[in-house]
Amino acid sequence: MKAGDTSAPTDRGRIEPPTLTAIRKAADLLRAGDIVGMPTETVYGLAADALNPEAVRKIFAAKGRPADHPLIVHLPDASHLPQWAASIPKGAIALARVFWPGPLTLILKREAGVPDEVTGGQDTVGLRVPSHSIALGLLQQFGSGIAAPSANRFGRISPTTAAHVHEELGDKVAMVLDGGACAVGIESTILDFSRDVPEILRPGAITADDIARVIGRRPRVRGEVEEGAPVGVADAPRVSGALAAHYAPRTPLRLVAAAHLVEEAGMLVGEGSRVAVLAHTTPNPHDARLIWHAAAPDPAAYAHDLYAALRELDTLGADFILIEALPSGPAWRAIADRLGRAAVGSGAEQDET
């Protein structure tokens, strides 16, 4: 406390170990209309009572998130689906049985009582059951749906530890439950089941092939090309994480093909820039202005490390971050999606107020 400051100290934003007492406290805070940091297997969420419009608006205020940007509702288990979805296709039920709890969000037609603040004013709602034991414990204590987008300022790097949440939001949240580092590390797959043809609107750990094995047909994938024409249609619902600029560091970020990475890094260093690199490629001899980080070799480990690595690179005072372009293939699709959006949104001039 500063000299002369007579205001009472506050415990807001405090990181709490995930004891039963802390989980019950978090549930009570949610019932009171406050917001808390909640671990999930994907990233940390900024949680509020999804049926309380005033509480949900606190999420948007804390993040600086546009009001028409829909949220995902986390449920205690699949038995809560009928309270939130007006119609549930058989394929969606089959997917919930296989992948819930887990990193799959289903977009379904909303029930009448779901607040517009959650859906962005649309007639659809995103629903999932997380697999993190602390998230499930909180959901079971709370007993209803919790809206929980990533607990960071809008457009910036998603948090995968409790410390990241505290760094991002401080006392804007009532408390942060510490569930350790997130196991998956990137956001859930979002599958639209509100129209005639299922479509992946955001890739994640659960792939189109995984889904096809359950429902007997491969969903469309936004951005894929099939028979020479873009897949997907213009009336797809708006969903989280689908803007061109997202997940972004303040340091300008470039994606560079492996064949050109060493050359581009050397050129930037030669021009006097300080450069941070995340790559599979072995670096050239060290230069004080070149900081080279080895990327994890397989997709699961890369995804787990991604946001923590971006945060670390963003704190190094570099002029540029260079990321080696990823291998092709479905296993890398979700990571490539996040890095592409991070590159578009990177740079201090893109920062939100």
pLDDT tens sequence for the chain (353 residues): 444 444 445 689 999 999 999 999 999 999 999 999 999 999 999 999 999 999 999 999 999 998 889 999 999 999 999 999 998 999 999 999 999 999 999 999 999 999 999 999 999 999 999 999 999 999 999 999 999 999 999 999 999 999 999 999 999 999 999 999 999 999 999 999 999 999 999 999 999 999 999 999 999 998 775 544 444 555 889 998 888 889 999 999 999 999 999 999 999 999 999 999 999 987 766 788 899 999 999 999 999 999 999 999 999 999 999 999 999 999 999 999 999 999 999 986 544 43
Assign 122 to helix, strand or coil.
coil
Q: Kind of pairing, strands 72-74 and 124-128? A: parallel
Assign 230 to helix, strand or coil.
strand
Assign 81 to helix, strand or coil.
helix
The CA distance from 72 to 130, in Å, is 11
Do 36 and 29 contact (CB within 8 A), yes or no?
Answer: yes
Strand partners, 254: 322
Q: For tokens 């509020």, what's the residue?
A: 48
The CA distance from 57 to 54, in Å, is 5
Side-chain half-sphere exposure of 81, counting CA atoms within 13 A: 22
Q: Which domains can be identified in the chain, with CATH numbers?
A: 14-230 (3.90.870.10), 253-350 (3.40.50.11030)
Going from the C-alpha of 253 to that of each of 57, 99, 151, 278, the distances in angstroms are 31, 34, 22, 11
